[in-house]
Amino acid sequence: MAIVTIVGAGMMGSALAFPARENGNEVRLVGTHLDREIIETSRATGRHPKFTKDFPAGVKYYQIEELMEALNGADMVIGGVSSFGVDWFADEILPKIDDSIPVLTVTKGLWDTPEGKLLTYPDVWQKKLDSLGKKLSLNAIGGPCTSYELVAHDQTEVAFCGKDPEILKKLKAIMATDYYHISLTTDVVGIESAVALKNGYALGIALTIGLNQKAFGLDSELHYNSQAAVFGQAVREMYKLLGIQGAATLDNITVGAGDLYVTVYGGRTRLVGILLGRGLNIDEAKAELNGVTLESLVVAVRVARAVRALAAKGEVDLAEFPLLMHVDEILSEKKEVNIPWESFTYTSFN
C-alpha cells in the first residue's frame, strides 16, 4: 500500500482519489485555499459536492493548513490545481515536498515566451525547482479523461509522462485499476503540448455547433460534417505544432486527438464555442457563463502569440495555421466567426 497525497480538491484532483483508493492505497485529499467548502462537505458527507457518487471509504480530507501532515510519509503527490494555480503551486507547494517524493500533475497548459517558445508546466516548475536547488521528480498525466466519467468508472486510458522510466512504472503501479489504464512515456513535451493544445482547438470545433444553431435553430439536429472538418484541421495543426516544439515522437498526437474528442463533447469550452458561433462576442459569451475564465481561451491566445512570433522570424508560415489564427482573431480582436473552410483543403498528388 502506498500513501497518495492529492493537493487540489477540484473535480479532476478529487476524481483521481477513486482509482488511487480503490487500488488499495491510503489517499489524503488536500484542498487549496479555494477548496475549503469542498473539504468541509466531503468530510461531512463523504462526497464531493459536484459528484453523484461517494468517495471510496477511507479517503482522508485535509484543509491547506494541514498540508505538512498530509505530506508526511507520502509515496507520491498528485497536483490537482487548474492552470490558474500554476504559480501558487510552484511557490506554495513544491518547496514543501521532500525531494524523494515524485509529483504527478493533472494541470494542462502552455506558457509562451517572447521568442515564440512554448513551455509546458513541468518546464515552468523545473525552473522554480532549479532556483531552489531542489531535485523533485516532476511527472504529468495527459489523455482523454473527464472527471465525472472517471468517477463513474468508465473505461479510461491516459498517459503518464516524465523523465525517469522507473518512477513512471512506480506511479503506474500505484494508480492503475481495471478501469484506469496507463501508458508510459518520457516524451513530456509531446504529451503535455498535445493535451494543452486541444483546449484551444476544441473551442474552434464547437464554433460549428453554434453556427448551425444560428442557421437552423437552437433545437435543430447536430451537423457532424462541419464538426469533423474542423476536427481534422485541428489535428493537422496540432501535429505541426508538436513538431515545432520538438516532441520526441509525433505518435503522441493520438493522446491529444483523444483528449480533443472528449473536450468537444462536454464542458465550458464547448459552451463558449457554441455561444461564439451563435454570434456573441467573447465578452458576451463569458458574461453568459457568469464571467468564468476558461483555460481554453488562455491556451489559444498564448499559442497563437507564439506562432506569430515564430512567423515574424520566418520560422513558420501562418498560412499553415488558419484555424488557430481565426480562433485568436475571435478572442483577441472580437471578430465575427467566419471559419475559413477553403483554407483547410489541400492538394496532394503522388
Over residues 173-184, the pLDDT tens digits come to 999 999 999 999
The predicted structure's pLDDT at residue 296:
82
> What was the pLDDT predicted at 148?
94
Pairing mode, strands 156-161 and 138-142: antiparallel
The mean pLDDT value for 202-219 works out to: 95
pLDDT of 267 higher than 80: no
Determine the Cα–Cα distance for residues 207 and 196; give it in Å rounded to an integer.
19
Q: At what angle do helices 253-264 and 188-216 cross, to 10 degrees?
A: 30
Contact 71, 96 (CB under 8 A): yes
Q: CA-to-CA distance for 255 and 272, rounded, in angstroms?
A: 23
Report residue 122's pLDDT band, with 50, 70 and 90 as the boundaries.
very high
Mapping DSSP to helix (H, G, I), strand (E, B) and coil, where does residue 7 land? Answer: strand
Alpha-carbon span 286 to 275, nearest angstrom: 9
Average pLDDT over residues 332-341: 96
Per the CB < 8 A criterion, the answer to whether 334 and 322 are in contact is no
| Mean per-residue pLDDT, 309-320 | 97
Q: For the residues 199-212, what does the mean pLDDT come to?
A: 95
pLDDT of residue 350: 81
What's this model's pTM, rounded to 2 decimal places?
0.94
The CATH T-level fold of domain 3-186 is Rossmann fold (3.40.50)
Domain segments of the chain: what residues?
A: 3-186, 189-344
CA distance 195 to 311: 23
Question: What is the residue-wise DSSP string for 290-328?
Answer: TTPPPHHHHHHHHHHHHHHHHHHTTSS-GGG-HHHHHHH
Q: Maximum distance among all alpha carbons in the chain?
A: 66
- Please state which CATH number belongs to domain 189-344: 1.10.1040.10
- Residues classed as catalytic: 198
d(CA 312, CA 116): 9
> Which residue has 484506469 as its cell numbers?
180
Q: Of the given ranges (144-148, 159-163, 203-207, 250-254), which has the lowest mean pLDDT?
A: 250-254
H or E element, residue 157:
strand 156-161
**Distance separating alpha carbons of residues 181 and 195, to the nearest angstrom:** 17
- Categorise residue 168: left if φ over 0, alpha if ψ from -120 to 50, beta otherwise: alpha
Q: Which pLDDT tens digit goes with each residue over 131-164?
A: 999 999 999 999 999 999 999 999 999 999 999 9
Residue 213 has pLDDT above 70, yes or no: yes
Band (pLDDT 50/70/90 cuts) for residue 126 is: very high
At 293 the pLDDT is 59
Residue 294: the pLDDT is 78
Query: If you write DSSP's letter for every residue of 52-79 in order, what string do you get?
Result: SSPPPTT-EEE-GGGHHHHHTT-SEEEE
